[in-house]
Amino acid sequence: MSDRIVVIGGGPAGLEAAAMAGRLGAPVLIVEKRSHLGGAPIAESYAALTHGLQSAEELMGKMMAAATDLDRVEVRTESEVVAMSGTGGNFTVTISSNGSEETVDAGAIVLATGFQHFDPGRETQQYGYYEFPDVITIQDAEGMLKEETFVTPSTGKPPERVAFIQCVGSRDRQIGNEYCSKVCCGISSKQAIEVRQQVPDARVFIFYIDMRMYGYWENEIYWPAQEQHRVNYVKGIVTEVLAKNGRLIIRGEDTTMGRPMEVPMDVVVLAVGMEPSPGTRHMADILGIATNKYGFVETVHDVLDTVTTAVAGVYVCGSATGPADLDDTISSAGSAGAKAVAYLRSGAEVPA
């Protein structure tokens, strides 16, 4: 019987789960594949977080400190879980670091291996992501916005016209991702605001099927983007991006006008959705936990318990369970950390 909790993944979800378990008195080991903590917001150079427009680096720094300042929380970077055996309360976890392997005991495991951005060239080339340098993704845009160098990649000049195309890789039966990725409408609107702030002369357009700005994102992002930053929302996502006389032309239907649309743009930003990360898929195999048809981890109840898996002692949180924004992620991660500790402390539930 071990009282240690192994947290797999050192992104926002893993950090919050570790900090919660640590604060409740449990020894925690964070196993992170990358050389750094902070997950996608750091790895993908996010500029400001949606919503609130606070610096991603600063907020991730706070999260890292909250976890690692605790003596009970230990971190292993450039490390991967390669095997797991035993049952709840008495797991043996094999960790590979720089070619060497070690085994550690764990009473409970929290999986926090997150998502990856949809690859817009994986299934379809209709937007020419691998064909045109000026067709970029929202994470490409994040990098430029973080450096305050939002330019047309092919020319290095500030763009006059920027179009965001929503729902790329989401809500698509052909691609196999029927779900809504939940965050892209907000992120695009946030980026549109940042583009308008950094390149005030740029005209910014968002082409959408329907804007999904739930809760406070509506009034904190969508409305200011339109009303104060004059971002132009046009209903009807673009069907294809073509080049004509050296310019990108987006083609689609302007649905509220009921007219075809062929408009030149300098930069086209694809609001790519969320898919399970390779780590999430791989770890689900190793831990023997069920995933849904999209590869996201399943929990015992889709409403009442969004962090407990069918394997006793194994919990999951954040975007490993499905598309999630950071607010959702922090909430589920705190819950997973606390439930893991509760599991170890409630003898009745812990197998002998």
Partner 1 sequence: MTRGPNPKVDPERVMELEHAVIDGMDVSGHWNRMFEQRVIFDYDIHQLDRVTELDGGESMGWCYQCAQCVPVCPVDHVGTYGPRRIFRNLQLGQDFFANDDLWLCTTCANCLRVCPKEVDMLQIMPAVRKEAVLAGDVPKELQDVFEKTARYGNPLGKNAKRRAAWTKGLDVDVPLISELDRKVDVLWWVSDYPSYHPRGIDASRALARVLTHLGVDFAILGAEERHDGDSMLRAGESGLFEMLAEQNIETLNQYEFDVLLTTDPHAYNAFLHEYPQRGGTYNTAHYTQFLEERIEAMGLTESIDRTITFHDPCYLGRHNGEYEAPRTLIGALPGSELVEMWRSRENGYCCGGGGGGMWLDGLAADNQSMRLSEKRVREAVETGADTLCVACPYEVSRFEDAVKSTNNDGSLEVLDIAELLAAALGLATD
Where do contacts with partner 1 occur on this chain (CB under 8 A)?
203, 205, 211, 222-223, 226-227, 230, 232-235, 254, 256-257, 259-264
Q: Which is nearer to partner 1, 55 or 226 (CB)?
A: 226
Q: Which is nearer to partner 1, 172 or 253 (CB)?
A: 253
**Closest C-alpha among 268, 269, 277 to residue 323:** 277
Non-local CB neighbours of 38 within 8 Å, separated by 6+ positions:
10, 11, 12, 15, 57, 60, 61, 63, 64
Structure tokens at 189: 């609107």
Q: How far apart are CB 308 and partner 1 at their closest, in Å?
A: 40
Q: How far apart are CB 125 and partner 1 at their closest, in Å?
A: 24
Q: How far apart are CB 240 and partner 1 at their closest, in Å?
A: 14
Q: How far apart are CB 217 and partner 1 at their closest, in Å?
A: 14
Helix or strand (DSSP H, E) at 83: strand 79-87
Q: How far apart are CB 211 and partner 1 at their closest, in Å?
A: 8
CA dist 84 and 266 (Å) reads 50
Q: Which is nearer to partner 1, 84 or 269 (CB)?
A: 269
Question: Is the C-alpha dihedral spanning 35, 278, 164, 330 positive or negative?
Answer: negative
Q: Which is nearer to partner 1, 71 or 227 (CB)?
A: 227
Q: Which is nearer to partner 1, 78 or 262 (CB)?
A: 262
Q: Which is nearer to partner 1, 45 or 226 (CB)?
A: 226
Q: How far apart are CB 128 and partner 1 at their closest, in Å?
A: 20
**Closest C-alpha among 266, 276, 252, 275 to residue 120:** 275
Q: For residues 46, 47, 50 and 51, what is the CA-based torsion angle, rounded to 10 degrees? A: 150
CA dist 91 and 86 (Å) reads 4
The alpha carbons of the chain give a radius of gyration, in whole angstroms, of 22
CA dist 159 and 58 (Å) reads 28
